[in-house]
Amino acid sequence: MSSQYTDPEILARRLDQALPPDSGYLPPQTPDPLVNTAAAVARMQVPELRADALVRIETRMFAALDAQTPPLRALPKRRRSPYTLLRYASVASLILVLFIMSLAPSVASSLPTQPLYFVKQTIERAELALARDDASRAQVLVTQAERRAEEALALLDNGAFTPTLVESAVASVSEASPQAILSSASLRAQTGQAAYLLNFVLLEAEAQTLVEAETVNQLSEEVNVLTRLSEGIPPTPPTDDPAEVGGAGDAPAAASDTPSPSPTATHTLTPSPTMTATTSATPTPSATMTATSTATVTPSRTLTRTPRPTRTRRATNTPQPTNTIRPTNTPRPPVANQATDCPGTSCESQGVPGGNVIPNTPQGNQGGGGSGGGSGSPPNDPGGGGSSNPPNDPGGGGNANPPANPGGGGSPPENPGGGSNNNPPGNSGGGNSDNNGGGGGRP
Amino acid sequence: MNVISPDTIAALFLLLAAVLPPEDDPQVEDLNSYILRAKQQDREAVGVLYQTHVRRIYRYIAARIDNASDAEDLTAEVFVQMVQRIADYTITGAPFEAWLYRIAAARVADYYRRKPRVDDHTDIEPLPDDAMHLEDLMQHRQGVDELRRALRQLPEEYQTVLLLRFVERKSHADVAAVMDKSVTAVKSLQHRALTSLTELLGGPSKSRHYLRGERE
């Protein structure tokens, strides 16, 4: 038998074209006998099922169905695939997770006045419960204290203040193991940061009259515990130290309470430029902090909170801060004092405590802040302080003056002031024999 | 508190969607639901399965045997067996009608084992619609009888593929699904079936003669 389409694939394609599926089309004769045979089969009319036969067969079928065991249970009309329920549950869970995740930033930034704050507290309690050892508990508690401080700062930005947040922060740190904090530099730094924020909040709140001064005092003392911890000082029982309250005297600092300005300065001053400016005016960091708030802040209170540093005095050569000193935002230049300025040399070398050194100027005669030193007199101007000796009069105390100028110390070359014994001929003054003038003004 | 990035969440969602299987075809899912209910002897579901498949099963049986009445009886036996054995039927990827065709083929085989073949042309072949001369009509019917006899001489698989392909006009893929074979196997089977039938019909020339309704 010959066929144009001996290959099954080619025959199949030819048959799909000649006798397409799901179609009643019948092709004309083709040269291929196999296709013609297929067409003959397609033309083989098969009888349809008669209507009565349809009913009869159905009846016979249901009879056989009824003859069987009754059904055990009725199935639902439409049965879902088990994967459908799992799919719905998975999508619902994912939507819930997405919703919770979207709330996370809101929860993290919530404040005590907001609805989500209780969620934040719940999460923090869970965090603390999960901490197993002292170190991890301390980390959690210090972090929570820092959060309280940040919350207090955020409330302050909104013009509100809550002492509870400060107390809560202190309580959190107090609950932690002191050894765990002291042994970790990061925890100490975190504690110090919290203390800094809390102190700032207290001062600002007082400045904005959101809280009474007594409350600020009390809370500041509590915050001081955090400050000490941050500097490696173990917590000690509170004591009534009058020196701390009075702000005067050389009471030794309780341990190493900011003995030197530099560490505390870096600790407290660097974040604020205003604070840096005030630091130059006042030696104590607390005073600096107060200055940054407002001018109304009394430095005495802040000062009392920081123990007087004995070393500070040596380092800065500045007088002990007292209540009388009012720090200002702008440093004031030192004021000259005629009585105690020491021209020419340091005051200490001349036994004058704390005086300012006045530079020697051959031309002019500059007065300094010294403790009552002679300020020199212009020519032909009787100076003060020095004892003028008339010619031919032995003077005392070295007050060489020109014949016409009985002036005091610090005089120009033509006007030798007092204190020197460079007397014109005939005038043997007291004091130095070869002295053109006073302590200052040498030709 | 750290927040998972949106990219991570989207990746998790896509991973979840990839893990879960997709939804089934709704038509197949509907038929499967009726099958499941029929397994529980639900009359409505059994009735739906009957109405969906009865006519094609009857045509298949009627094309393989010559007696219409016997074809109806065999069809009834098929659906009786359906309700009796559907509790053991397992839903697989194969179409439900494939199972019914196998039952029908078994019934036809039993029919020929029990009953000798009798050439009965009167009930099967209807009269053609177009007007034909009586002599042409007689010749037409003789050709159809010859075709039927030749068809019945083929193996069961050959008959099934020819009837499903050219009487039911199913595609190669549908026939492959019903017969649980590959498409390539069906094409090969079709080729062998047509070759055998053509030879039985007397070769190429006789095929063309049959189509024209002429005798050589």
Q: How far is B52 from chain A (nearest CA, A)?
A: 12
How far is residue A339 from each of residues A336, A374, A422, B51, measured CA to CA in Å?
A: 9, 7, 24, 127
**Considering only CB atoms, which chain B residues are within 8 Å of A40?**
147, 201, 207, 210-211
The token duo for A333 is: 């230049």
Q: Would the pLDDT of B63 be above 60?
A: yes
Are A140 and A123 within 8 A, CB to CB? no
pLDDT band at A428 (very low <50, low <70, confident <90, very high): very low
pLDDT one-digit tens code per residue, B10-50: 666 666 655 555 544 546 668 889 999 999 999 999 999 99
Q: How far apart are CA A274 and CA A329, in angstroms?
A: 7
pLDDT band at B3 (very low <50, low <70, confident <90, very high): low
pLDDT one-digit tens code per residue, A163-218: 999 999 999 999 999 999 999 999 999 999 999 999 999 999 999 899 999 999 99
Q: Least CB-CB distance to B199: which of A1, A38, A105?
A: A1
Q: Running DSSP on this structure, what letter comes out for residue A391?
A: T
Q: Least CB-CB distance to A79: which of B3, B36, B55?
A: B36
Q: How far apart are CA A289 and CA A268, in angstroms?
A: 8
Mean pLDDT across the stretch A354-367?
A: 43
Q: How far is B60 from chain A (nearest CA, A)?
A: 9
B79–A74 CB contact, under 8 Å: no
Mean pLDDT across the stretch A71-89?
A: 66
With a pLDDT cut of 70, the percent of chain A lying above it is 48
B20–A46 CB contact, under 8 Å: no
pLDDT for A239 equals: 55
DSSP 3-state assignment of A343?
strand
ipTM, two decimals: 0.75
DSSP 3-state assignment of A292?
helix
Q: Would the pLDDT of B168 be above 70?
A: yes
Mean pLDDT across the stretch A76-99?
A: 75
The token duo for A259 is: 């003995």
The CA R_g of chain A, rounded to the nearest whole Å, is 50
SS3 percent helix, strand, coil of chain B, rounded to 5, is 75, 0, 25
Q: Least CB-CB distance to A58: which of B50, B126, B212?
A: B50
CA-nearest residue to A50 within chain B is B72
Q: Would the pLDDT of A61 be above 90?
A: yes
CA-nearest residue to A54 within chain B is B54
Q: Least CB-CB distance to A44: which of B47, B79, B144?
A: B144
Which of the residues A56, A57, A91 would you substitute to probe the B interface, choosing the one with the greatest number of B C-beta atoms within 10 Å?
A57
pLDDT one-digit tens code per residue, B173-198: 999 999 989 999 999 999 999 999 99
A&B contacts, CB < 8 Å = 193
Q: Token match 């699904």: residue? A: B177
pLDDT for A265 equals: 41
DSSP 3-state assignment of B36?
helix
Q: Cβ neighbours of residue A71 under 8 Å, at least 6 residues apart?
A: B40, B41, B42
Question: Letter for the amino acid at A285?
Answer: P
B59–A48 CB contact, under 8 Å: yes
Helix and strand numbers, DSSP H then E, in chain A? 16, 4
pLDDT for B137 equals: 60
β A371-372/A339-340 pair status? antiparallel
Q: How far apart are CA A413 and CA A418, in angstroms?
A: 12
**Considering only CB atoms, which chain B residues are within 8 Å of A43?**
211
In our burial notation (b when 16+ CB lie closer than 10 A, e otherwise), range A290-316 reads bbbbeeebebbbbbbbbbbbeebeeee
**Considering only CB atoms, which chain B residues are within 8 Å of A87?**
20
Are A45 and B147 within 8 A, CB to CB? no
Which of the residues B5, B36, B41 would you substitute to probe the A interface, choosing the one with the greatest number of A C-beta atoms within 10 Å?
B41
Are A435 and A422 within 8 A, CB to CB? yes
The token duo for A429 is: 């003054």
β A357-358/A342-343 pair status? parallel
- Ranked by mean pLDDT, the top range of A113-117, A207-211, A335-339 is A207-211
Q: How far is A27 from chain B (nearest CA, A)?
A: 11
Torsion of CA A313, A318, A324, A328, to 10 degrees: -120
Which of A151, A57, A173 is closest to B46 using CA atoms? Answer: A57
More confident residue, A182 or A306: A182
Q: What is the DSSP string of B55-116?
A: HHHHHHHHHH-S-HHHHHHHHHHHHHHHHHHGGG----SS-HHHHHHHHHHHHHHHHHHHS-
CA-nearest residue to A96 within chain B is B9
Are A411 and A376 within 8 A, CB to CB? yes
Q: How far apart are CA A273 and CA A261, in angstroms?
A: 16
A65–B43 CB contact, under 8 Å: yes
Query: Maximum CA pair distance of chain A?
Result: 168
B172–A12 CB contact, under 8 Å: yes
B1–A104 CB contact, under 8 Å: yes
Q: How far apart are CA B107 and CA B102, in angstroms?
A: 9
pLDDT band at A417 (very low <50, low <70, confident <90, very high): very low
CA B76 to chain centre: 16
pLDDT for B73 equals: 95
Are A103 and A117 within 8 A, CB to CB? no
Q: Least CB-CB distance to A75: which of B37, B59, B195?
A: B37
**Considering only CB atoms, which chain A residues are within 8 Å of B13?**
94
Are A97 and A104 within 8 A, CB to CB? no
Q: Worst-scoring range by mean pLDDT, A56-70, A108-122, B134-148, B194-208? A: B134-148
Q: How far apart are CA B99 and CA B134, in angstroms?
A: 43
The pTM assigned to this predicted structure is: 0.41
Q: How far is B53 from chain A (nearest CA, A)?
A: 11
pLDDT for A354 equals: 44
pLDDT band at B99 (very low <50, low <70, confident <90, very high): very high
Q: Least CB-CB distance to A105: which of B3, B195, B203?
A: B3
Q: Running DSSP on this structure, what letter comes out for residue A405?
A: -
More confident residue, A16 or A262: A16
B197–A15 CB contact, under 8 Å: no
